[in-house]
Chains A and B, each alone.
Chain A
């Protein structure tokens, strides 16, 4: 079955327009939700949705367990806010959390009206399940393919709106700046290998996280921190980048995620002695504690020699056997599918090997409540952004809700901003930005001859040093080492050459551009971590084991300079939950 036919390269979806009211970079849950919110606000608004992949490939697709909202009488906004703030180790901005929890329910219902196949109770209402750090059953789900269903529901719904113009497989290389404002993006169309300026009265970055700066991550290959680096290079600070989430239950070898819903549905964690070791660390919550605590407990079990040994190193066991085949198939079918396919075992009868892996970053582009940044006309939302509702540790099932709530808010705010601007940005500035990017990327990067340094070589060195020195437990000398090594890798990056000289779909070139972004983002993570001399949430310093509210109840801001990032701080917004010891 290898019948092939070659057509001349053709561009059926010939988008002639180059200036839009709104340019959205990223086609995952946050970007699509923003696009739909703007389209619903005003049918005359023109919206460019620029994505480096077909939108339904976006990494939202891999989210599994669920999305949080207060929907039942036993729950309240105050309780959801309190759980989120306590989970964040009091680094979340409480005004943002209050806005967030109050808007989650309507987003679940919007998705429901758009056809999302939420799992249902016998009475026909949307079901809710238990999740780590949530004090009641609050997590809405569609079996354990929640991100997949949210993404496809949003993507398919976005097809209703003719004013959403998609630029699929277009890679944004820089922002256009004019008179102290962002006026669009320069993007490389991967199919043609040509650059274009896509001008916008307002621009939203919704490119997801940066998990690929680490070696062992649940994140897909496309999660390279593009939006974070784009904003950072335009002078916008990145907030709380040291706050990196490690998920406790990932498959050794591949890093494939086994959802927290497996524990929400009753799964337990055991060491090689068959002991539910969480009783030693968090007897009050056991396996339903927050992710930072569970991941640290795993490392401690490994260090104590109580882990299993496998071909990919030590691991713990996730035991679902007592749930029975029926419940596993009904509630967490993907867990079984993944374990069978990628580990060759059946969780109905066997333990699933798990270990912690990078999963999410709480930090991101520093924004206000509507996604606005310090740069007029530039917005950021979703994992790319840091509002901050997640503080030092995000609770499972708050991130999809965050994409929906703030996606809608940001889409509306950016649309309103665009509507107030009568004319499109100046063409001359965009043409100049385009010319500069063509020179930088095509004459510069693409022209470099291949030598000793390769994109794959530097990428793996960066990933390994981040894993080793900026991982779950951190301390001064390792962090200082990481900062120095990253600067050296940045220098060596200048010598990376390319073997592929073609313009069309040059994935070696996009890998170089992505590595360029990741080196910036990794440096902000390492420097922010080095300067936070305390332990809070996911940031665990063995040399500063206590939380230090007197000195560090504040957000880190990393600003770009010609050398190392400049670190500054911003107060945390407290409304009514005074910082207290985080006890479960």
Chain B
């Protein structure tokens, strides 16, 4: 664990002081097993307690610590400084979101979008509440990938469409919609597709694919959106060709 120094260039924004974000540089002792979050915590505890960022689990599952590191959205707890070390580590808040302070951004907009796609099981008949519903391993496999989304918001930060039109429902909410549509226990596909088959829904996506590149959990939201487009289209065609056909 070679001892040396690394320079962190961190974006600072203090709403109570006004102005635009500025960069501040910090020199921190470096170990080869340090992640970017360790560097931020070193600054917070030893150099500058005013630096503000979110973190909790430091094991890549709570989704709190996303930031733009050297120009790319990443989880700071899973990003090794040794993989970045070209002079300086530049840390900025995730793009495309309103900044509250330093690296902290406001995600409320995502939670509203998530709620709009009904991220829960919708059923006409819940049946016997004391019995489990049968689901085979392959049924679980059908939605497992989308169910792994940790809501870290890296995909929204990477999405140029969301950057240009903030009303776009966006990658994570779309992937989670597909997660429930693909669940054999769910009857809510029609309502979800009605939300997604709109101007601010899946058709805004131009398949840039950056969302899937930056996703730390391999959820592949870009593929999820393409699947949703296909489902919406076939549903539309079926309704044209076979009026009154079943909703599923």
Please list the residues of chain A having a beta carbon within 8 angstroms of any beta carbon in chain B. 1-7, 9-10, 12-13, 53-54, 56-59, 61-62, 106, 108-110, 112-115, 117-122, 124-126, 145, 148-149, 152, 156-157, 159-160, 168, 191, 220-222, 253-254, 256-257, 311, 334, 337-338, 341-342, 450, 454-456, 460, 498-500, 502-508
Contact = CB atoms under 8 A, between A and B. Distances in A.
Contacts of B92: 2, 4
Contacts of A12: 108-109, 112
5 contacts: A62-B59, A115-B183, A120-B135, A254-B59, A508-B49
A156 B176 contact: yes
The 4 closest A-B pairs by CB, nearest first: A456-B45, A124-B134, A220-B56, A156-B119
B121 A113 contact: yes
B58 interface: yes
B28 interface: no
Interface residues of B, number: 82
Nearest to B78: A341
A502 B52 CA distance: 11
Contact of A124 (B46, B64, B109, B135): B135
Given A4-B93, A159-B120, 12 more contacts: A3-B95, A56-B151, A110-B129, A115-B186, A120-B136, A168-B108, A256-B59, A454-B45, A460-B45, A499-B49, A500-B50, A508-B49
Interface string B69-96: 0011100001000000000000011011
B139 A120 contact: yes
A159 B119 contact: yes
B49 A6 contact: no
B33 interface: yes
Residue with the highest number of chain A CB atoms closer than 10 Å, among B45, B48, B126, B143: B45
Interface stretch (B97-105, B196-204, B219-227, B229-237): B97-105
A156 B120 contact: yes
Interface in B111-150: 111-112, 114-115, 118-121, 126, 129-137, 139-140, 143-144, 147-150
Nearest to A13: B108
A13 B58 CA distance: 29
B29 interface: no
Contacts of B120: 114-115, 156-157, 159-160
A122 B137 CA distance: 6
B246 interface: no
B6 interface: no
B1 A311 contact: yes
B167 interface: no
B56 A109 contact: no
Interface in B194-224: none
Contacts of A53: 54, 56, 64
Given A120-B136, A122-B137, A456-B45, A54 B111 contact: yes
Interface string B139-175: 1100110011111000001100001000000000000
A112 B123 CA distance: 13
Contacts of A507: 44, 52-53
B57 A62 contact: yes
DSSP class of B's interface residues: helix, strand, loop or mixed?
loop
B99 A6 contact: yes
A384 to B, nearest CB: 17
Contacts of B73: 1
Contact of A4 (B21, B112, B119): B21
Nearest to A54: B107
B57 A59 contact: yes
A303 B131 CA distance: 51
B63 A338 contact: no
B56 A222 contact: yes
Contacts of B17: 502
Contacts of B21: 4, 6
Nearest to B151: A56
A341 to B, nearest CB: 6
A148 B61 contact: yes
Given A1-B68, A115-B121, A122-B136, A502 B49 contact: no
B99 to A, nearest CB: 6
A38 to B, nearest CB: 17
Contacts of A503: 16
B13 interface: yes
A320 to B, nearest CB: 18
Nearest to B144: A117
Contact of B104 (A118, A334, A505): A505
Nearest to A154: B120
Nearest to B119: A156
A113 B96 CA distance: 36
A80 B93 CA distance: 48
A109 B129 CA distance: 8
A508 B49 CA distance: 6
A2 B151 contact: no
A342 B56 contact: no
A222 B64 CA distance: 11
A44 B157 CA distance: 38
B140 A120 contact: yes
Contacts of B111: 54, 168
B93 A455 contact: no
A38 B16 CA distance: 39
Contacts of A222: 56
Given A57-B64, A62-B61, A160-B120, A125 B129 contact: no
B59 A109 contact: no
Interface string B5-31: 000000101111100110000000000
B62 interface: yes
B57 A117 contact: no
B62 A61 contact: yes
Contacts of A342: 59
